[in-house]
Each structure stands twice: as structure tokens, then as C-alpha cells.
């Protein structure tokens, strides 16, 4: 009955429109009260949820992403990607994908990717004769590269939700190959759709223009190198690398690109504070909710239920993927990471899936959920940027969904994709 109170009240709050963070907190405290547990323990769990040193990296990553968004780095990356691959048939679609791969790996945010790159590329693609739905669909689906390719604050949330023992440096490395693989699948889908629709290729600007675009993008690309390289080399902790990356991004946009005005800086700070506040409230309330899930032995019951249905690891992984995809369609990503990790990670490890590989499976599933109705925030932002009704975008987006699903199946059933690079850090 207590579990029904916890889950039922949470579902009710979500249905009536209560923000997910508060729905988690309200249902957790109600479950504490129902079980006669001291409410003080519930509030202690809320506080302890964010009393984790590595979480300090999240505001720095978010701030660095906002600075790059408002400081002109995205434009340089688009110019470089356009010079490199724009001469292919339907090249602007492929440019869109690889721009997302480059910028997403720096900002770590799918929504920031759409806001920055979509506002640049979608109007250009329309002017060049590309259909609006094609431009929006490529932008929306490729944006989730920022979730997979490091640095990503969602990876830090996963590491915390996993209950410790997860090396963030290894987790960062785990996302490199899956992220690139997913972008290659999306680029292939973009090319096939472009050929079928008869889009023309852009003119190759020449090796000189390519070199100039590359050198112009280097200062921005170095942000990711500093953050990830600092962590992997042991020079910085994750938090220190995030702080240094934010400082570097500010100096690059202010001194090198000279595109950071006081007004843009003020907007970047306000957006960072707003986003960080939402993430931290969510993590705090999810701490109490996860405590009650453990109290009711939900992870153990889930393991017993799924393994009771079948002992075939392939079927169990397919069921986990299906559940994560369905949940990703209706809930916020950060909340689902915090809720689903303690439930499904034990199931995955019980059938031999490495926690780092499961992290990539989880992030790709939930990233796809950001692109799907009814609650796909990336889909909403992309349609708003492209001035396209959502139903028109959804009608033709399926080739890109299929591309992500192909990448997801490879990540799920080929462990080496996620584990080869982090394995290099093992002694």
C-alpha cells in the first residue's frame, strides 16, 4: 500500500501539471508520513541528495555551455562543418549533424544545441531549398549528441544516481564512440532522405577556406579538450575542469572571438542560474524518492520480475529499452535518470551488462524521448525555431528515429562500442 501511495501520488501530481521535481518531493514525503517514518529523515534525504561534491561540476558545465551559446562559438563550428562536408549531396543536413556533434560535445546540452545551431542552420537550409520539416527533423534528432558525447552533465547525474563506484572520467570516454556512431547513423539518414527528395550539393569552398574555418573553430573546440582532457589526465577533478572550462569559454568569447557583450553575459548568467536551480531541485527531491523506492525494495522486485519472465539476456535488454523509450516520451530526462537508474541498473548488471554500457543505453533511450511527442522538449524547441507545426515534423521524422534506434541496438548488444575506450584507463 505504501508503494501505491508513493507511485500513485507521483503519477497524480504529474497528470495535473505539478512540476516533476515537486511531484517527486511531495510523493516521497507522503510515503514517509504513511509509513510513520520521521519526516526529518525525509528532509535529510532531500538535502543529502545534493550534498555531493561532484555535483558542483554541473553549474560550471551549464555556464560554459551558455557562454558558448551566446559567445559565437556555434557559428564558427557551423562554418567549419559546412566547409568540411557541405559539398556532399544534401550536405547541409550532414553539416547540421556534425555541427551538433561538435557543439554538443562542448555544451553538453541538447536544448542548447537546438537553440544555438537551429537558429543558425534552419533558416539557411530553408533559403537553400530544403523543406522545413527536413531541416527541423535533422536539427532535433542530432541535438541529442550533446547528451552522449562528453562532457555531459547528464553523465554526472547518472554517476550520482548509480550510487557511487562510477568513474566520471571512464563514463566520459564511454560516450565518445556511441555518440559518434549515432551521428554517423543520422548523417546517413540525412543523406538518404536528401537524395530521395532531390536536394542539391553545395559547392566545395576550397582547401584554403576549409583551413581558415578549421583554425577559426579551434579555440572553441579546445573547450571540450580542456574539460575532458583535464579529467582524463588527472590534472583536474570533474568540478575543477568544469570551472576552468567556464573561465576558458568566457575568455575565448570575450578576447578571441570578441562576441561577448555585457548584455549577452548577463543573459548567460541568468539562464545558467535558472537551469542549475531546476536541476538541483530535481536531484534533491529525487534523493528522497529513490530512498523510498529502496525502502520498498523496488529494484529487487524489478530484477525478480524481469528475470522471472525470461532468463534470456537479449529479451531482458529489449524489455528495458522498451520501458525506457516509453518513459522518455512522457517525462523529463534528468528525472528519469534519477528514478530509472537505481531500478534498472541492478537488472542490467544481473545479466552481465557493465554499468558504463548501461549508462549509454539509458542516455540514448532518454535522449530519443526528448525528440518524441507528447513531452519532447527538443521537438518543441526545434519546431519553434523552425516555425513548423509539430504534427508536420512528426509525420516525416521516422527515418531519423530509425537511425537512432539502429545505433541504440548496436550500443545495447555490442559492449565494445561503449567499453573499449574506458578500458584503456584500466591498469
Residue 127 reports pLDDT greater than 90: no
Nearest to 162 by CA among 343, 286, 285, 301: 343
**CA distances to 15, 265, 372 from 142, in Å:** 29, 27, 13
**For residues 378 and 329, is the Cβ–Cβ distance under 8 A?**
no
Residue 215 reports pLDDT greater than 80: yes
DSSP 372: S
Report pLDDT for 374. 65
Give the pLDDT band of residue 375 (cuts 50, 70, 90).
low
**CA distances to 50, 66, 71, 336, 346 from 323, in Å:** 27, 32, 39, 11, 15
What is the average pLDDT across 253-272? 85
The whole-angstrom separation of Cα 401 and Cα 370 is 11
Residue 427 reports pLDDT greater than 60: no
pTM, rounded to two decimals:
0.83
Greatest mean pLDDT among 102-106, 280-284, 408-412, 421-425: 408-412
* HEC string for 127-163: HCCCCHHHHHHHHHHHCCHHHHCCCCHHHHHHHHHCC
Q: DSSP readout, 174-202?
A: HTHHHHHHHHHHHHHHHHHHHHHHTPPPP
Higher pLDDT, 357 or 153: 357
**Angle CA 323–327–329, to nearest 5:** 125
Report pLDDT for 415. 94
What is the average pLDDT across 358-384? 83
Report pLDDT for 426. 65
DSSP 234: T
Give the pLDDT band of residue 106 (cuts 50, 70, 90).
low
The whole-angstrom separation of Cα 107 and Cα 423 is 25
Residue 85 reports pLDDT greater than 60: yes
Average pLDDT, the chain: 82
Give the pLDDT band of residue 105 (cuts 50, 70, 90).
low
The whole-angstrom separation of Cα 43 and Cα 1 is 22
Please enumerate in sequence order all residues whose Cβ is within 8 A of that of 355, keeping only pairs 6 or more positions apart, or say none: 162, 165, 166, 345, 348, 349
Question: Percent of the chain, pLDDT > 70?
Answer: 95
Amino acid at each position: 500500500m505504501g508503494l501505491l501511495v508513493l507511485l500513485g501520488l507521483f503519477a497524480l501530481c504529474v497528470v495535473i501539471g505539478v512540476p516533476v521535481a515537486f511531484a517527486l518531493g511531495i510523493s516521497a514525503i507522503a510515503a514517509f508520513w504513511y509509513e510513520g517514518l520521521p519526516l526529518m529523515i525525509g528532509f535529510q534525504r532531500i538535502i543529502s541528495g545534493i550534498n555531493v561534491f561532484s555535483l558542483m561540476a554541473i553549474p560550471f558545465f551549464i555556464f560554459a555551455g551558455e557562454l558558448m551559446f551566446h559567445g559565437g562559438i556555434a557559428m564558427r563550428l557551423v562554418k567549419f562543418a559546412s566547409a568540411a562536408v557541405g559539398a556532399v549531396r544534401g550536405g547541409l543536413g550532414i553539416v547540421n549533424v556534425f555541427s551538433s556533434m561538435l557543439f554538443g560535445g562542448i555544451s553538453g546540452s541538447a536544448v542548447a544545441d537546438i537553440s544555438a545551431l537551429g537558429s543558425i542552420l534552419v533558416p539557411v537550409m530553408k533559403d537553400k531549398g530544403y523543406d522545413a520539416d527536413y531541416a527541423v527533423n535533422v536539427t532535433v534528432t542530432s541535438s541529442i549528441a550533446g547528451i552522449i558525447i562528453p562532457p555531459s552533465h547528464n553523465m554526472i547525474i547518472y554517476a550520482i544516481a548509480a550510487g557511487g563506484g562510477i568513474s566520471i572520467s571512464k563514463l566520459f570516454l564511454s560516450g565518445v564512440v556511441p555518440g559518434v556512431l549515432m551521428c554517423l547513423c543520422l548523417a546517413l539518414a540525412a543523406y538518404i532522405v536528401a537524395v530521395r527528395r532531390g536536394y542539391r550539393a553545395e559547392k566545395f569552398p576550397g582547401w584554403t577556406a576549409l583551413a581558415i574555418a578549421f583554425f577559426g573553430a579551434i579555440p572553441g573546440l579546445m573547450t571540450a579538450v580542456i574539460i575532458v582532457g583535464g579529467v582524463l589526465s588527472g590534472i583536474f577533478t570533474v568540478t575543477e575542469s568544469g570551472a576552468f572550462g567556464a573561465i576558458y569559454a568566457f575568455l575565448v568569447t570575450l578576447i578571441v572571438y570578441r562576441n561577448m557583450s555585457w548584455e549577452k553575459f548577463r543573459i548567460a548568467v541568468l539562464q545558467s542560474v535558472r537551469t542549475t536551480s531546476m536541476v538541483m531541485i530535481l536531484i534533491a527531491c529525487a534523493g528522497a524518492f529513490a530512498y523510498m523506492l529502496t525502502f520498498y525494495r523496488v529494484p529487487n522486485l524489478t530484477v525478480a520480475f524481469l528475470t522471472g519472465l525470461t532468463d534470456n539476456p537479449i529479451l531482458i535488454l529489449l524489455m528495458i529499452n522498451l520501458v525506457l523509450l516509453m518513459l522518455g516520451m512522457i517525462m523529463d530526462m534528468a528525472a528519469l535518470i534519477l528514478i530509472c537508474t537505481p531500478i534498472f541498473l541492478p537488472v542490467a548488471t544481473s545479466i552481465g551488462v557493465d554499468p558504463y554500457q548501461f549508462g549509454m543505453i539509458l542516455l540514448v533511450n532518454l535522449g530519443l524521448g526528448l525528440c518524441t511527442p507528447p513531452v519532447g522538449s527538443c521537438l518543441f524547441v526545434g519546431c519553434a525555431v523552425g516555425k513548423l507545426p509539430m504534427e508536420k515534423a512528426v509525420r516525416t521524422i521516422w527515418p531519423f528515429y530509425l537511425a537512432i534506434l539502429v545505433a541504440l541496438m548496436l550500443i545495447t548488444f555490442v559492449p565494445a562500442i561503449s567499453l573499449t575506450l574506458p578500458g584503456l584507463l584500466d591498469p
